[in-house]
Amino acid sequence: MKAIQKLGSILCGVLLLSNITVASADSHNNPVIWADVPDVAVIRTGDTYYMSSTTMHLCPGLPIMKSRDLINWEIVSYAHNVLGQEDALWLRNGKSAYGNGSWASSLRFHDGTYYVSTFAQTTGKTYIFKTKDIENEPWEEISFRPMLHDHSLHFEEDGRAFMIYGSHNIRIRELEADLSGVKQGGIDQILVPNVSDVTGKRTGLPAEGSHFRKINGKYYLFNITWPPGDMRTQTVFRSDNLLGPYEGRVAFACEGIAQGGLIDTPEGKWYALLFGDRAAVGRIPYLVPVEWVDEWPVLGKEGKELPPLDIEVKRDPIPACVASDEFHRAEGEPPLPLQWQWNHAPDNANWSLTARPGWLRLTTSRTDADILSARNTLGQRTFGPRSSASIALDIRNMKPGDVAGLCAFQKFYSYVAVKKTERGAEYVMIRHEAEEPLQVEALPCPGELVHLKVECDFRKHPNLATFSYSFDGSDWKPIGKPAQMHYTLPHFMGYRFAIFNFATETPGGFVDVDYFRVGIPEETEAAP
């Protein structure tokens, strides 16, 4: 019921996403990552910051990022590979986990151990992962029922562990000492009732996304809510006692930036790491300065404006959560850099980096109707304000009915590809903006090695993706026409660059990918 209620609220909220402008974008390093890194949770150990976020149906999932300055973040690990054997997680038997999988996480460091926890509608479980070395060791998994929605893991000084979770009426539930499940007979009650009402407005998206911390002897609960006709809003409640009573107020109402928690620096400065909905690129993280007034955290300028950050560090315009790849692997290197994620769990028997060293091979193992149902689609985030990706494909071993190429991937996807027919190969541009994809243009493809490119512009409304092809990788020719990108359900994530190959007639064909290169497109017109 809670998942259905949340999805219904999101459907209303999605209509507002494209109307939110990025007034503070690139203002003194904000947003800190102009890419889809939602539901952020952050901690600090020493002088190093770690952040977890949501990747839902992608595999591997629950990424952990690292930073030394709160601005530049790199992926250092994933908490899980795949959460279970359910068909939906593997794109089997007509099922998928789009928009599901694992959602908002909680990140903690307690008694020398790192913990990151999440929950999954697909399996109906709550998950806790733990490790002593967050960057180099595997994570140990603990899972149990029930699924605790948008929870925050909390450890008391006496060793007791709790999860604070739920929607509107935020609950607290005690866990077993070994975290193996909820404690029978333990604390299980509403912690703060009617959290959404603190805004003084009717409830749209009920308060959720709990972040819970004890700071200087007081307990603080942070939540996100979305009053109808307004914006995503951050709330804060505080108490001298774990079980309350709690008093609350609106903490931040600015540009729809909300959901997250507080982090302090070794020098004693405080910030809030939150996210903002930014149309087709997704939900992107912002760093908000925090001042303490009468033991209340005051976010931004009086909780209503996002001031420039006072952190002056150099930042690469291409975030470290994406990366080019020539597919050459030295001995001992992992098969895929951490920037890559599969669309659902992959069929490992049908992709390879060793069958042809220096190339990524994608082999079809079944027939599919479209890219949404295809196995082994490999992707990375798009990023703003403008970004591009290009690939080279050896198409000699495709079979009639095979389609392989490069996609701007979301529910309403568009792509440039090579389609193999009985007559030969052709370039095609597919534009999917309604319930059915439309082939906008098809051209003869006489070569054996083809180059394909997609460029994304997130500065404009609507956000646009344009496509091109090349015979030599330098002289690019447009194909089709620009496609509108829409942040829509059920995927519930920003657009991704995706390499794909699927069969519509006979499985067993394959393509070899020579490279994947990300960049920033050259300006062809004045910026808006």
DSSP string covering 213-277, please?
Answer: EEETTEEEEEEEEE-TTS--EEEEEEESSTT---EEEEEE-STTEEEEEEEE-TTS-EEEEEEEE
The answer to whether residues 483 and 424 belong to one domain is yes
Distance CA 298, CA 294 (A): 10
pLDDT reading at 525 higher than 70: no
Q: Residue 314 domain-assigned?
A: no
Q: Calculate mean pLDDT across residues 3-23.
A: 42
The answer to whether residues 281 and 371 belong to one domain is no
What is residue 307's predicted lDDT score, i.e. its pLDDT? Answer: 95
The answer to whether residues 274 and 346 belong to one domain is no
The answer to whether residues 364 and 294 belong to one domain is no
Cα distances (angstroms) measured from residue 83 to each of 60, 76, 100, 138, 336: 9, 19, 11, 15, 20
pLDDT reading at 479 higher than 60: yes
The answer to whether residues 359 and 473 belong to one domain is yes
Q: DSSP character for 13? A: H
Strands (E), 104-203: 106-110, 113-120, 125-131, 140-144, 152-155, 161-165, 170-175, 188-192
Query: Higher model confidence: residue 525 or residue 240?
Result: 240
The answer to whether residues 190 and 294 belong to one domain is yes
Strand 510-519 with 386-394, pairing = antiparallel
Q: In which domain, by residue range, is 231 found?
A: 2-299
pLDDT digits (tens, 9 = 90+) for 315-361: 999 999 999 999 999 999 999 999 999 999 999 999 999 999 999 99
pLDDT reading at 13 higher than 80: no
The answer to whether residues 274 and 384 belong to one domain is no
Quote the mean pLDDT of the chain.
Answer: 93
Exposed (0-12), middle (13-18) or buried (19+): which is 33, by Cβ within 10 Å?
A: buried
Q: Which of 238, 270, 299 is the last residue of a domain?
A: 299
Q: Calculate mean pLDDT across residues 251-269.
A: 98
Count structural domains, the chain. Answer: 2
Lowest mean pLDDT among 16-25, 104-113, 391-400, 505-514: 16-25
Q: Residue 310 domain-assigned?
A: no
Cα distances (angstroms) measured from residue 307 to each of 24, 113, 508: 8, 35, 56
12 pLDDT tier (thresholds 50, 70, 90): very low
The answer to whether residues 388 and 247 belong to one domain is no
- Per cent of the chain over pLDDT 90 is 90
Distance CA 405, CA 392 (A): 9
17 pLDDT tier (thresholds 50, 70, 90): very low
- Per cent of the chain over pLDDT 70 is 94
Query: Do the Cβ atoms of 471 and 448 come closer than 8 Å?
Result: no
pLDDT digits (tens, 9 = 90+) for 32-44: 999 999 999 999 9
Q: Residue 468 domain-assigned?
A: yes
pLDDT reading at 23 higher than 50: no
The answer to whether residues 58 and 168 belong to one domain is yes
The answer to whether residues 295 and 347 belong to one domain is no
Distance CA 178, CA 160 (A): 10
Q: Residue 185 domain-assigned?
A: yes
Q: Residue 320 domain-assigned?
A: no
Q: Calculate mean pLDDT across residues 288-313.
A: 96
Q: Cα dihedral sign for 82, 360, 52, 408?
A: negative
Query: Do the Cβ atoms of 480 and 441 come closer than 8 Å?
Result: yes
What is residue 524's predicted lDDT score, i.e. its pLDDT? Answer: 63
Distance CA 238, CA 517 (A): 48
Q: Residue 193 domain-assigned?
A: yes
Query: What's the CATH number where 205 sits?
Result: 2.115.10.20
pLDDT reading at 18 higher than 50: no
Q: Which of 299, 321, 355 is the last residue of a domain?
A: 299
Cα distances (angstroms) measured from residue 221 to each of 36, 242, 500, 515: 25, 10, 43, 46
The token duo for 301 is 């300028």
pLDDT reading at 210 higher than 90: yes
What is residue 205's predicted lDDT score, i.e. its pLDDT? Answer: 87
The answer to whether residues 295 and 350 belong to one domain is no
Torsion of CA 354, 357, 360, 363, to 10 degrees: -50
Q: Residue 330 domain-assigned?
A: no
What is residue 9's predicted lDDT score, i.e. its pLDDT? Answer: 42
DSSP string covering 354-406, please?
Answer: TTTTTSEEEE--SB-SSGGG-S--EEEE--SSEEEEEEEEE-TT--TTEEEEE
Residue 262, beta-bridge partner list? 272
Give the ranges where 119-213 is alpha helix by DSSP (H): none
pLDDT digits (tens, 9 = 90+) for 468-478: 999 999 999 99
Q: Which of 275, 299, 323 is the last residue of a domain?
A: 299
The answer to whether residues 284 and 388 belong to one domain is no
Q: Calculate mean pLDDT across residues 193-197.
A: 97
Residue 420, beta-bridge partner list? 425
Query: What's the CATH number where 494 sits?
Result: 2.60.120.200
193 pLDDT tier (thresholds 50, 70, 90): very high
Q: Residue 321 domain-assigned?
A: no
